[in-house]
Chain A
Amino acid sequence: MNGDHLWSLFRVPISMQNAKDSFYLALRSRLAVINPQRTVLVRGALRPGILLEDAEAPVAQPPADVFVMHWGALGAETELPSAMVAMECEISYCTSGTQAFGGLDRGRSLTTMDRELIAILQPLSTPKVNYSVQPAAPMQTQVFWDEPTFPSINVQRDRVSRSARVMVYSYQEKGE
């Protein structure tokens, strides 16, 4: 997508909110099935171990052994019969290994999280749902995404981390 198409964002009302919500909840549901043990205690509730960074309180450092989603660059293709919007999602995760191994298994733990992330991203699509109404209303199209890219590992003392990137696409529907 080039700059001309990004500029078209200002001419056509475009929203990615339903796609973002659908993508997050799809990954959350898949993680609960693939690894029910990966959980996180947030605001007093035990939830699957994946968080939306912009929907949670700011923290001093990201929690370990949990996937944290962060939305980035936005683009749009409006020269199609239906406008298509794309947004980059960064999924960060870090681990210090397990206490039982004294942290010496942190490399293995990170590999496990790599594998889990690949698993929850399959299949590469999910139905788009409007969660801002009660009950949630299914929409006409799907949210779909590319294969993730995995940059190199970041090591900070006893903590290893990685930030995978996925480009998520969605067709604009009427009323969005």
Chain B
Amino acid sequence: MTDTTARSPVSAPQMIADALLRSVAGSSAQLRVTGASSDSSQSELGLIATTFSEVVISPVVMRKLRPAAKTGDASQWEMLVSATSVQAQVNALDLQSAQALFAMTLAVTMAGSDYLIESVASNEAFGKVYLYRLTLRETFQQAL
């Protein structure tokens, strides 16, 4: 939902969103982000191990959207993420946008479980994003 009213942007909606996320037991999540130096034929063929870094975002809140209908199905979750935290990581990694950060994210880890990002949506007020909503799906356990 976008507020198109012409007013100067302020940080109040972001502060309120952060406060609300914390007040409902907001926790932290880790984004597993790929290294940027992966542009070579060998990395495309799986011959070079890609480097990963863990990016912590907080506060976040998760809720289940759809339970698994049958055995083997993956449940769907929604993660509400503080835009302030995302913006801080975008600046730290010198990226152009939050979308770029989410595009480089292989998995989201929360409470020891890995999730894949299915879609990203954002909520805005006064022309500024105050909350990101990630639709996540549980990953299948990989062999170690």
Binding site for B on A (CB under 8 A): 21, 24-25, 28, 41-47, 51-52, 54-55, 57-61, 131-132, 134, 136
Within 8 Å CB of B104, what residues of A? 43-44
Which residues 64-89 of B have a CB within 8 angstroms of A? Answer: none
Cβ-based interface call for B92 (8 A) = no
Give the Cβ gap from B14 to chain A, nearest Cβ, in Å. Answer: 27
Within 8 Å CB of B137, what residues of A? 60
Chain A facing B: main interface SS: mixed
Within 8 Å CB of B50, what residues of A? 43
Give the Cβ gap from B137 to chain A, nearest Cβ, in Å. Answer: 5
B44 touches A52 (CB 8 A): yes
Among A28, A55, A132, A134, chain B packs the most CB atoms within 10 A around the CB of A55
A61 to B137, alpha carbons, bound, how many Å? 11
Give the Cβ gap from B3 to chain A, nearest Cβ, in Å. Answer: 23
A and B contact pairs by CB, cutoff 8 A, 6 listed? A44-B36, A57-B106, A59-B116, A60-B137, A131-B42, A132-B47
A60 to B42, alpha carbons, bound, how many Å? 24
Closest to A136 in B: B41
B35 touches A44 (CB 8 A): yes
Within 8 Å CB of B118, what residues of A? 60-61
Binding site for A on B (CB under 8 A): 34-36, 38-39, 41-47, 50, 103-104, 106-107, 116-118, 137, 139
B44 touches A28 (CB 8 A): yes
A43 touches B34 (CB 8 A): yes
B45 touches A21 (CB 8 A): yes
Closest to B45 in A: A21
A52 to B45, alpha carbons, bound, how many Å? 7
Among B38, B107, B117, the residue within 8 A (CB) of A45 is B38
Give the Cβ gap from B75 to chain A, nearest Cβ, in Å. Answer: 13
Give the Cβ gap from A40 to chain B, nearest Cβ, in Å. Answer: 10
Q: A24-B45, A46-B39, A59-B116 are in contact. List 16 more A-B contacts (CB 8 A).
A: A25-B41, A25-B44, A25-B45, A28-B44, A43-B35, A43-B38, A43-B50, A44-B35, A44-B36, A44-B104, A45-B39, A47-B39, A52-B45, A60-B137, A131-B41, A136-B41
A44 touching B47 in the complex, CB below 8 Å, given contacts A57-B106, A58-B139, A59-B116: no
Within 8 Å CB of A25, what residues of B? 41, 44-45
Within 8 Å CB of A45, what residues of B? 36, 38-39
A158 to B34, alpha carbons, bound, how many Å? 30
B34 touches A131 (CB 8 A): no
B45 touches A131 (CB 8 A): yes
Give the Cβ gap from B39 to chain A, nearest Cβ, in Å. Answer: 4
